[in-house]
Structure 1
């Protein structure tokens, strides 16, 4: 028995150290940021068994190779389609405003296309009104409706959208719905799934969460995009999930979530449709490329001077492109930079860019929620406040609900609206989408919205912040240590 026990112990210890060595090799061989690498190394050595479990589920990008392979195949097969799209020269903008030029050049070189003009862009700031307009568009649809959301929470207005989709499907409109498995867990447990399928709606559960797939991809890799496409002409995107704002997360006591959405009529729907097509094929194996834009769709649009780019991130899409876009936008600012985000855990590069902008005379304001739904992110974000305040950045804490909108306004001309938070997961992991809008009229509306946010916020006082309790500073440091893992 002693020999068996000793042999088993030696085998377990050997396997344990082989796993530790293998993880250490994976951390060191892949060029990560130093804080991230150090956090992982300390985690697996200080709390070994728990650290190994965390690494196994969250450390490695298990799905990356598979998605890259499929996405590469998709874009290779689609070369003819892309060339046909590029031949529609009447939709591409040749020149951008001074502040937007660098960012649009980056997007062109990274994604292969210039910005698209001839779009009618509307900024939607009220979730109830947004859903009301969406329901109207669904009932008016003539050919197809495609949607992807991180969260679809049944109840209230969300059920009205479901009924509108069912009605459209029954009258012959092709409807496709793609929802994240983790974010929309309540939807997939509801009767709506079968009701929709019986009406002819195709439903895909993206990045399924189950025991088998736990070993195939990271649990925190999520389909975080919010996209609606109608008739290859109308498109929606922004921070809003498909939920009733009066019902969603009422138990948290934070009041309503505040979101921004864009509704766009015009050829940009084709570009957004390509992203949706890629996501759909990755999940189902079927290609659903959108129809090419025609001159007929340009009749009802205006503002030839505006331009829109779409940036998509996630496994298989251009690496770090949203991170690069944010850095380019910040460094392009000359006068004013206003940012809204619910989660502020920036990379070192982003933090440096924001502080540098303030130190070279740009009026930099960051608007974040005062009340938060994530304790971890709330405390992790606080460790950045001192450096931002010292550089001259104004930090506003929004009081009237949970500010969930993700927006950047540069020099009251260049706007970025999308799904990506200023945290590690959004920048380097999730499937996200950001719209880059070079449009003076749109930027004026965004500026008014951001000013309204500021009027409902508390300005963080530098002196009061520096005198906060010592135990709070310790907590902030602890969560800062964990921030690369968030």
Structure 2
């Protein structure tokens, strides 16, 4: 019997090391950032068995065969629809500033989406204002409402939005609602799910979580976009989920979530509508294109060009990261960034440092308390080298600062759903707006200043005095970079 156990042990060890060797080769042969590959190798070697299991679950961008094949077939017809926008009078590259021209060229060449002028924008920075504005626009809807959100959490004014949607559907408005399965479990267990379906609303779960398929699709690949399109004439996007912060995660210990949304009218609305149609087809197989925008533009008026930048499986890789890099490289005076989750790639980290080192005033505002303990510690692993490069870091004390925004030279901005982390920039379905509107950008910059006024500045001499305990956890959680 002892000899049998001896042989079984040898066989088990050999099989384990064959497995580790195979996964190691797979990690090394995948084309990705070296830092990500090294992080995965450390996880695999430091945490036996579990590390290999985690790699199969989270290590590769796997949408699942059906969705991946569907997305591949969709790219050409959606590209054709987007390309028609280049013939629209709203595409006026000769009237754009240098900030957005290069981004327009990139997005046009990679996905066929041009920057369009003739928009109006409204920055909404309080939950009450945002939700009441959405409710009013839903109540005035005539033909269609398209919505996609990561989180829908019942309670408070979120229930009033649900009621407004049900009433709209009952009066004949076509309502399509797409919600991420992992982000909105409370909604799918609530009575609102059944009530909406009974009223005729098409409600779909995006990327349904199933234990039976954990090795067939990456589980932490999520539908993270936040888009509302009403009658193809009004759109909303930004950082806020469909939640009332007074009724959401009150026991998390991080305070109320701080968010913004942008209300848009003009040709950009139709592009956001097309992004929703893309997401809808990826999930359901049903193809519906929005109407093309009316493009009559008065060039004597303010043009307010906006570039819609989507990302996600099936779309060009790293598009939002490239846009962010282009924007930062063009900065001459200042960059101000707000993000709740800060775990940058090696390339993005170097871009931030280099921008500060060439004399640009780079400011980073992140929450002091975070709902992700791992992200909190991993973020702080970057503080020292950023501070040494001249980047100013502020920790916000007024709640969980969830706003995702970048302001360049107080003239140009990026605003949307994208965090400065690997998950948003490489993995999830995201969307951001590149806005070439100085008045709107000034308004966003002033809002960012209110965040700084409620923040504590991290100074390098004080930071260097932190305890060995803190340094250990920073480096330990930094190793989990690919999972964050």
Regarding TM over 0.5, the answer is yes
Does the CA contact (< 8 Å) of 2:75 and 2:314 recur in 1? no
Deviations 1:408-435 (A, max 9, x none): 0001111100111111111101111111
Q: Cα–Cα, structure 1 residues 366 and 79, in superposed 2: closer, same or farther, change >3 Å?
A: closer
Question: How many Å apart are 1:369 and its aligned residue?
Answer: 0.6
Q: Cα–Cα, structure 1 residues 295 and 470, in superposed 2: closer, same or farther, change >3 Å?
A: closer
Q: Which residue of 2 aligns with 1:140?
A: 140
Question: How many Å apart are 1:169 and its aligned residue?
Answer: 0.1
Q: Using the alignment, how far apart are the partners of 1:415 and 1:368 within structure 2?
A: 17
Deviation larger for 35-44 or 15-24: 15-24
Question: How many Å apart are 1:259 and its aligned residue?
Answer: 0.6
Question: How many Å apart are 1:371 and its aligned residue?
Answer: 1.6
Question: How many Å apart are 1:146 and its aligned residue?
Answer: 0.6
User: What secondary structure does 1:43 align onto?
Assistant: helix
Q: Using the alignment, how far apart are the partners of 2:422 and 2:282 within structure 1?
A: 23
Q: Cα–Cα, structure 1 residues 47 and 83, in superposed 2: closer, same or farther, change >3 Å?
A: closer
Query: Aligned ranges for residues 315-326 of structure 1 at < 5 Å?
Result: 315-326=313-324
Deviations 1:11-31 (A, max 9, x none): 544543342222112101112
Deviation larger for 131-140 or 453-462: 453-462
Task: Give 1:407's match in structure 2, choosing from 389, 405, 415.
Answer: 405
Question: How many Å apart are 1:465 and its aligned residue?
Answer: 0.8
Q: Is structure 2 residue 394 aligned with structure 1 residue 378?
A: no
Q: Which residue of 2 aligns with 1:263?
A: 263
Q: Cα–Cα, structure 1 residues 416 and 241, in superposed 2: closer, same or farther, change >3 Å?
A: same
Deviation larger for 173-182 or 6-15: 6-15
Q: Which residue of 2 aligns with 1:111?
A: 111
Q: Which residue of 2 aligns with 1:284?
A: 284
Q: Which residue of 2 aligns with 1:120?
A: 120
Q: Is structure 2 residue 198 aligned with structure 1 residue 198?
A: yes
Question: How many Å apart are 1:253 and its aligned residue?
Answer: 2.7
Deviations 1:369-415 (A, max 9, x none): 11211111001011111111111111111111110000000011111
User: What secondary structure does 1:251 align onto?
Assistant: coil
Question: How many Å apart are 1:201 and its aligned residue?
Answer: 0.2
Q: Which residue of 2 aligns with 1:81?
A: 81
Q: Using the alignment, how far apart are the partners of 1:137 and 1:323 within structure 2?
A: 33
Q: Which residue of 1 aligns with 2:426?
A: 428
Q: Using the alignment, how far apart are the partners of 2:57 and 2:295 within structure 1?
A: 49
Deviation larger for 79-88 or 382-391: 79-88
Deviation larger for 31-40 or 282-291: 31-40
Q: Using the alignment, how far apart are the partners of 1:350 and 1:243 within structure 2?
A: 31
Q: Which residue of 1 aligns with 2:305?
A: 307
Does the CA contact (< 8 Å) of 1:369 and 1:401 recur in 2? yes
Does the CA contact (< 8 Å) of 2:43 and 2:480 recur in 1? no
Deviation larger for 339-348 or 69-78: 69-78
Query: Aligned ranges for residues 212-361 of structure 1 at < 5 Å?
Result: 212-295=212-295, 303-361=301-359
Q: Which residue of 1 aligns with 2:361?
A: 363
Question: How many Å apart are 1:98 and its aligned residue?
Answer: 2.5
Q: Using the alignment, how far apart are the partners of 2:258 and 2:38 within structure 1?
A: 36
Deviations 1:33-78 (A, max 9, x none): 2222122112222322111111121112222665443223113234
Q: Which residue of 2 aligns with 1:461?
A: 459
Does the CA contact (< 8 Å) of 1:418 and 1:434 recur in 2? yes
Q: Is structure 2 residue 183 aligned with structure 1 residue 183?
A: yes
User: What secondary structure does 1:342 align onto?
Assistant: coil
Q: Cα–Cα, structure 1 residues 326 and 272, in superposed 2: closer, same or farther, change >3 Å?
A: same
Q: Which residue of 1 aligns with 2:159?
A: 159
- Equivalent pairs, count: 484
Q: CA RMSD in A?
A: 2.0
> For structure 2, which runs of at least 5 residues remain unmatched after alignment?
none
Q: Using the alignment, how far apart are the partners of 2:61 and 2:428 within structure 1?
A: 11
Q: Using the alignment, how far apart are the partners of 1:23 and 1:357 within structure 2?
A: 37
Question: How many Å apart are 1:83 and its aligned residue?
Answer: 4.3
Q: Using the alignment, how far apart are the partners of 2:336 and 2:396 within structure 1?
A: 14
User: What secondary structure does 1:288 align onto?
Assistant: coil
Does the CA contact (< 8 Å) of 2:407 and 2:413 recur in 1? yes
Give the TM-score, by structure 1 length. Answer: 0.95
> For structure 1, which runs of at least 5 residues remain unmatched after alignment?
none
Question: How many Å apart are 1:80 and its aligned residue?
Answer: 4.6
Q: Using the alignment, how far apart are the partners of 1:40 and 1:64 within structure 2?
A: 22
Does the CA contact (< 8 Å) of 1:120 and 1:303 recur in 2? no
Q: Cα–Cα, structure 1 residues 469 and 3, in superposed 2: closer, same or farther, change >3 Å?
A: closer
Does the CA contact (< 8 Å) of 2:394 and 2:456 recur in 1? yes
Q: Cα–Cα, structure 1 residues 78 and 398, in superposed 2: closer, same or farther, change >3 Å?
A: closer
